[in-house]
């Protein structure tokens, strides 16, 4: 152990640790979950420190040598090379002060290493005076939250959803000529093609991509420059604009100083909005995964309209059983995401006066949800959707047995007569065609045209004079 000093006095710190006294106090104070802050958030925090150093150098407030050192170590944080030096638990001070001091101390001590000075000497960098220049935990941590989540959305979630959408679109094209029975209320309805059904899933995934991109836009305002309570005390007035410009250049995303710094620090409504988008995505993915699981149920006693790829044995007791495990995985991911989104919503309501004090938990919840959704969607696309096959014969069998084809007879014989035909066909175990001809309600040629399932999959195709 070595002794380091902060404003509260001396504190023994592990010899090989790059953090200092303030971080060690947090380690001792918060032995709660064993989960440190997400690596993606810490990389984002490194990027923010890099941008702040560059901005302070531009303003003439920080020497080029000090700026270079801060940026060099911040880059090491961004590259993931120093992650073991960030031990503070997620459940820490709600402003993230412990996390901010953690990176301030790591940068200062690593700079001491690189410059040939003893760790803890605060030479050539002081963690507060130099690394934290013009900053407060109250604006730095919300800024890192927005930047890191926006980057994660773009780099993790958007590509995964695009891959899933493309896989579903490919199946929609492949299945475009396979007519099947539709279902509403889980009951037989009128026909559509399997391709049309999958086009709906593809559209959900495409809308998911759009929602993820909307979430990125929602995070564009940054709290940087507000310092302690939003007034910008101890901060150069040009500092926030320069930091946002540098962050935009580094990430390719559009960041700007907050329109109102009191809102940017006291509230976390933008993050709640992002959580809402993630919850919507989770609901949509659950629908897709659930439908595909049901369509592939069987192989003998279920719907069996599609065949799902066999990925692993499904039972320890039933030989040959194969289960829809990829759908089950994605449903669980979605349930977890909905829970995490609710956590963010509850965190968002707990801002008091000039600061929200649940930011580390928001960071954990959003990054966890994004990572799980992205990984889940990607695995589902590759291990399930890509290998789905249609059972055209089974689809045709169910269409032929359905009584809801009677809907197409409404324009010819009216709703009441059509309902009577359907009831009699069901009661007598006969076809619609047999009952209609027996009652002499339509001639055979017109009836066959009206009952053509393929014609029912296009607007007006089975109507008198229709194109079917």
Structural domains of the chain, with CATH: 2-133 (1.10.275.10), 146-234+250-303+330-389 (1.20.200.10), 403-457 (1.10.40.30)
- Average pLDDT of the chain is 96
Rounded distance between C-alpha atoms, residue 274 and residue 263, angstroms: 16
Average pLDDT on 175-194 reads 97
434 pLDDT more than 70: yes
- Confirm if 137 and 356 have CB atoms less than 8 A apart: no
| Catalytic residue status for 146 | no
Give residue-wise pLDDT tens across range 19-54: 999 999 999 999 999 999 999 999 999 999 999 999
466 pLDDT more than 80: no
Rounded distance between C-alpha atoms, residue 186 and residue 73, angstroms: 58
Give residue-wise pLDDT tens across range 217-276: 999 999 999 999 999 999 999 999 999 999 999 999 999 999 999 999 999 999 999 999
Average pLDDT on 194-219 reads 98
pLDDT of residue 467: 52
441 pLDDT more than 80: yes
pLDDT of residue 305: 98
Catalytically annotated residue among 7, 185, 316, 352: 185
Question: Which of residues 137 and 316 earns the better pLDDT score?
Answer: 137
Rounded distance between C-alpha atoms, residue 45 and residue 82, angstroms: 13
Question: For 322-329, which contacts have Cβ atoms below 8 Å and span 24 or more sequence positions?
Answer: 324/292, 324/293, 324/296, 324/297, 324/384, 326/289, 326/379, 326/380, 326/383, 326/384, 327/289, 327/290, 327/292, 327/293, 327/380, 327/384, 328/289, 328/293, 329/376, 329/379, 329/380
> Which has the closest alpha carbon to 274: 142, 446, 426, 439?
142
205: β partners: none
Give residue-wise pLDDT tens across range 385-430: 999 999 999 999 999 999 999 999 999 999 999 999 999 999 999 9
Q: Cβ neighbours of residue 417 under 8 Å, at least 6 residues apart?
A: 409, 441
Cis check: omega of the bond before 326, within 30 degrees of 0:
no
Cis check: omega of the bond before 124, within 30 degrees of 0:
yes
In the block, tokens 């690596």 appear at: 39
Average pLDDT on 199-225 reads 98
Average pLDDT on 311-330 reads 92
Average pLDDT on 78-82 reads 98
pLDDT of residue 468: 42
295 pLDDT more than 50: yes
The pTM of the full predicted model, rounded to 2 decimals, is 0.96
Average pLDDT on 286-292 reads 98
Q: Which band of pLDDT confidence, cut at 50, 70 and 90, is reported for residue 74?
A: very high
Catalytically annotated residue among 315, 327, 367, 428: 315
Grouping H, G, I as helix, E, B as strand and the rest as coil, residue 123 is coil
Element (H, E) at 389: strand 389-390
| Catalytic residue status for 334 | no
Residue 441 is encoded by which pair of tokens?
């309600």
Q: Cβ neighbours of residue 69 under 8 Å, at least 6 residues apart?
A: 107, 111, 114, 115, 124, 125
């Amino acid at each position: 152990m070595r002794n380091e000093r902060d404003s509260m006095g001396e504190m023994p710190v592990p010899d090989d640790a790059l953090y200092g006294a303030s971080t060690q106090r947090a380690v001792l104070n918060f032995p709660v979950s064993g989960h440190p802050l997400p690596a993606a958030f810490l990389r984002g925090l490194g990027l923010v420190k890099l941008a702040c150093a560059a901005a302070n150098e531009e303003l003439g407030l920080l020497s080029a040598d000090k700026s270079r050192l801060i940026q060099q170590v911040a880059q090491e944080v961004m590259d993931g090379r120093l992650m073991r030096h960030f031990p503070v638990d997620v459940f820490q001070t709600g402003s993230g002060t412990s996390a901010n001091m953690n990176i301030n101390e790591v940068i200062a001590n690593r700079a001491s290493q690189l410059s040939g000075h003893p760790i803890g000497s605060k030479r050539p960098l002081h963690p507060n005076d130099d690394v934290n220049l013009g900053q407060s935990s109250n604006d730095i941590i919300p800024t890192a939250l927005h930047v890191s989540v926006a980057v994660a959305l773009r780099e993790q979630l958007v590509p995964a959803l695009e891959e899933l959408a493309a896989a579903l679109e490919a199946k929609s094209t492949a299945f475009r000529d396979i007519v099947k029975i539709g279902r509403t209320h889980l009951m037989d309805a009128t026909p559509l093609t399997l391709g049309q059904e999958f086009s709906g899933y593809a559209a959900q995934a495409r809308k998911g991509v759009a929602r993820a991109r909307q979430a990125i836009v929602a995070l564009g305002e940054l709290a940087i420059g507000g310092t302690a309570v939003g007034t910008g005390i101890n901060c150069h007035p040009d500092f926030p604009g320069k930091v946002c410009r540098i962050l935009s250049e580094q990430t390719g995303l559009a960041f700007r100083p907050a329109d109102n710094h009191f809102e940017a620090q006291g509230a976390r409504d933008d993050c709640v909005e992002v959580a809402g988008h993630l919850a919507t995505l989770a609901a949509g993915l659950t629908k897709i995964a659930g439908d595909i699981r049901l369509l592939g149920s069987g192989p003998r006693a279920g719907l069996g309209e599609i065949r799902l790829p066999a990925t692993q044995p499904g039972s320890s007791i039933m030989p040959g059983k194969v289960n829809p495990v990829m759908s089950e995985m994605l449903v669980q991911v979605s349930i977890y995401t909905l829970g995490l989104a609710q956590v963010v919503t509850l965190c968002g309501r707990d801002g008091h006066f000039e600061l929200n004090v649940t930011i580390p938990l928001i960071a954990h919840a959003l990054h966890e949800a994004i990572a799980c959704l992205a990984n889940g969607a990607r695995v589902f696309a590759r291990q399930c959707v890509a290998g789905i096959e249609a059972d055209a014969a089974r689809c045709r069998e169910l269409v032929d047995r359905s009584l809801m084809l009677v809907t197409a007879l409404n324009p010819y014989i009216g709703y009441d007569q059509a309902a009577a035909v359907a009831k009699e066909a069901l009661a007598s175990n006969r076809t619609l065609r047999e009952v209609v001809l027996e009652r002499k309600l339509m001639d055979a040629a017109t009836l066959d045209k009206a009952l053509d399932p393929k014609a029912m999959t296009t607007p007006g195709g089975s109507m008198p004079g229709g194109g079917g």
